[in-house]
Amino acid sequence: MKLLLKQIGRQWIFHLFIWPPLIMLIIFHYIPLIQGIRMSFQDFKPAKGFFGEQEWVGLENYRYLFSLPSFSEALINTLIISIIKIVLMIVVPVLIAVLLDEVSSKRLKKVIQTSITLPHFISWVLLAGIYINILSPSEGGINVLLNRLGLESIYFLGEGQFFKATIIITDVLKEFGFATIVYLATIANIDQAQYEAAEVDGATRFQRIRYITIPNMQMIIILMTVLSLGHVLNAGFDQVYNMINSAVTREGEILDTLIYKMGFTQFEYSLSTAANMFKSIVSLLLIGTAYLYAYKKHNYVVF
C-alpha cells in the first residue's frame, strides 16, 4: 500500500513538471492552430473578435487562393529556391567535412571550423544589411571589384535571374559550416582500424575517402536528405523578406513572404491563413513521411 502511494506520488510530480509548459503550448500554439483552421473557412472580420462568431464561407478562400497567379508564382519560387538549397546543403557540408577531416593541423582545423560556423549565429537582418551593401550595383565591394577587372556591374538583388541565385548562395555560405558539424561527428566515429588497414595496404588519400569515409557516411547523408525534404516549402522567410525588393517581387516572392504580405499589409486575414494552412498541411505530410521513413529504415527517433 505504501509502495503504491509512493508510485502515484512519483507520477504526480511528472504531471506537475509537464503541465505548466503544456498550458503555454496550448495557449500560444494549439489554440491559434484550431482558430487558424477555422479562419481559413471563414470570412474573418477582426471587429467580431478573435473568438467571435464569424461568417462561414466553405472552401471559398482556398478556391480564390489557388486561382491567384501570385500564389502559384510564390509556390514555384519556393520550390526552386528550397530544392536547390536542400541539395547544396547536403553536398557542400559533406564535402567540407571530408576535406576538413584531412587537415592534419589541429589548430588550423579548429580555426576553420570556428570561422565557418560563425555566420549561422548572425541574423538575416544583419547579413541582409551587409549583403545589400556589398552587392549594390554602384557602390558595392563585389561590383567595384568587377568594374576594376573591366566587367560590368551585376544587379545581384535587383534582377530576377540573379536574385534566386544570390539568395541560394548567400544562404549556403551562412549555413554550410553549421551543417558540417554532424558530418564531422560521424567521421570522428568511424572505426580507426579501417584506416589503419588501408594505410598498411598503401591506399591513397582519395581511395581512403572513396572506400572508407564516404561509405561510412552514407546512412547519415540519406537520413539528413530525407529529413530536409520535409522542409521543402520553407525557402527561408527571414532571408528573403530582408533581401527582396520591389524590382524582383515576381521572381523572389516565396510562400512565407506572400503569407505575411496578405496578412499584415493587405489585411486579408482569411486568405493569408488559408495559404498558411495549405503550407502547414503539405509540410506535415512531408515531414511525417520523412520521419516515418527515417524510423522504419534507420531506426531514427526524435524522442
Give least dist CB 288 to other proteins, A. 7
CB closer to other proteins out of 105 and 161 = 105
CB closer to other proteins out of 217 and 277 = 277
CB closer to other proteins out of 76 and 284 = 284
Give least dist CB 151 to other proteins, A. 15
Give least dist CB 152 to other proteins, A. 17
Give least dist CB 77 to other proteins, A. 19
CB closer to other proteins out of 18 and 59 = 18
Give least dist CB 302 to other proteins, A. 6
Give least dist CB 98 to other proteins, A. 9
74 closest CA partner among 252, 276, 206: 252
Render the chain in DSSP notation, one character per residue.
Answer: -HHHHHHHHHHHHHHHHHHHHHHHHIIIIIHHHHHHHHHTTEE--GGG-TTS--EE-TTHHHHHHHH-HHHHHHHHHHHHHHHHHHHHHHHHHHHHHHHHHH---HHHHHHHHHHHHGGGGS-HHHHHHHHHHHT-TTT-HHHHHHHHTTPPP--TTTSHHHHHHHHHHHHHHHHHHHHHHHHHHHHHTS-HHHHHHHHHTT--HHHHIIIIIHHHHHHHHHHHHHHHHTTTT---HHHHHHH--GGGHHHH--HHHHHHHHHHTS--HHHHHHHHHHHHHHHHHHHHHHHHHHHHHH-----
CB closer to other proteins out of 62 and 269 = 269
Give least dist CB 43 to other proteins, A. 14
CB closer to other proteins out of 78 and 242 = 242
Residue 210 is which amino acid?
A: R
CB closer to other proteins out of 87 and 219 = 219
